[in-house]
A and B are shown apart, each in its own frame.
Chain A
């Protein structure tokens, strides 16, 4: 799969959550062009290139980024801030998908320009519904700037 064909980027360190999320998206036939990144560093490297490898930037423009907040190495909030302050990536819809209901996380995320903030439902069924609905909304209903 060519990186330019990638439609959804899922940044999630928990493989179980990632698998369930992919299941949910698959049920709506949205998971064919999905890229899973395991931490904040991988996410920044993916969008802005690896500094150690020359920092070559790839112009990736997926239709949706699903971002967990608590990530190893570089946290989700920092990734969000970088994405939203860069001219090339600020238009990409970012949906924070997290277990955190912490007030500061919410405030900071909106401050940085998040497009949507979803608290992962504890209940499995609700969780599956939430992911698939988010996928449908942003992939099919939302109209991004051309």
Chain B
């Protein structure tokens, strides 16, 4: 019996210990006895049932509490997050405000800067305008000056045109004068010769008419008339040559002067067949000249040389050239009578003679012709003479 009582109680105690340790209220005591232990167990079990029920209730309440707490927390979290969002927006707003302010500030600074720049620009513009105005002014002055000089130039052109017209007029007059001169020399050649021939011819006819009966004095007078007509004829011929040398184009070509001098000399010797005159020709350079005109120069100078040295015992003529002042100066030298140098300026004038016809015949035109020809070539003629010793005529063709 002891054992039958202590064992169930121990059992109950162990269960109670387990429940207490494990808080498991679902455990029940297994007892089928109708004794006190059974009742105790039953009542224990009932208590356990009630505890379990309460536990469940508590659990449920706790659960509900937890749930509501969780919900609350959610709400709070939500609120919190909302507030954070708000905070962020606020911060953003603030930032935006700040940015706006900054922008405004920047804008202000910019505006200030711009205003300053604008002012500077405007100042610059003003300055520029002034510069432009100054420039325009100086440009205007320049333009005025230019216009002035242009006008001056136009005037100059006008003047030039006028002088050109003047030259043209002068040229025309010159051409007319030349034509007149041509007509004049034609008249001279034709009209002056005829009366001379008539004088001579009819003088001879008169002598013939008188026939045998004519006296010596009559013959002498007739001879004087004839000689003078002859002289007149020569004068006319020389004058014509002189005027012809002034006219016409210069036909310049390179020619061999040695040939020309030789030709002229040979022709001259036909006239002076009795002369013992000796000619020395030094080699001459070629010359750029009008051969027809320059031949006339040599004819006149060489015939003068022979003429004025013909009475010498051993007449001598030398032809050559020297370089004088960088130019080729041709010369004709003779050992004839020569002339006093104080009359040398008269030599080259028409009809000027330093000797009488009785001494030396001549028309006084030969050297004037020489002068004209060398001048037309752009050269000059000059002379030096020591009477009865040596006379030299020089000429250049450039």
Contacts and interface: CB of A to CB of B under 8 A. Distances in A.
A67 to B, nearest CB: 14
B6 to A, nearest CB: 194
B233 A123 contact: yes
Interface string A112-128: 00000000101111011
Nearest to B208: A23
Contact of A127 (B186, B189, B197, B240): B197
Contacts of B190: 69-70, 98-100
Contact of A100 (B189, B195, B201): B189
Contacts of B200: 123-124
A101 B240 contact: yes
Interface size class of B (residues with CB under 8 A): 20 to 34
Interface string B183-222: 0001001110111111011101100000000000000000
Interface size class of A (residues with CB under 8 A): 10 to 19
Interface string A1-24: 000000000000010110010010
A125 B229 CA distance: 13
Contact of A124 (B189, B195, B197): B197
B230 A99 contact: no
Q: Name B's interface SS.
A: helix
Given A16-B198, A17-B194, A124-B204, A99 B189 contact: yes
Interface string A86-99: 00000000000011
A98 B233 CA distance: 15
Nearest to B241: A101
A127 B194 CA distance: 11
Contacts of B186: 70, 100, 102
A122 B189 contact: no
B194 A102 contact: no
Contacts of B198: 14, 16-17, 20
Interface in A64-91: 69-70
Contacts of B204: 124-125
Contact of B230 (A20, A120, A123, A127): A123
Given A122-B233, A123-B230, A123-B233, A99 B201 contact: no
Contact of B202 (A16, A99, A100): A16
22 contacts: A16-B202, A17-B194, A20-B198, A23-B205, A69-B190, A70-B191, A98-B190, A99-B193, A99-B194, A100-B189, A101-B240, A120-B193, A120-B194, A122-B196, A122-B197, A122-B230, A122-B233, A123-B200, A124-B197, A124-B200, A124-B201, A127-B201
Interface of A: 14, 16-17, 20, 23, 69-70, 98-102, 120, 122-125, 127-128
Interface of B: 186, 189-191, 193-198, 200-202, 204-205, 226, 229-230, 233, 236-237, 240
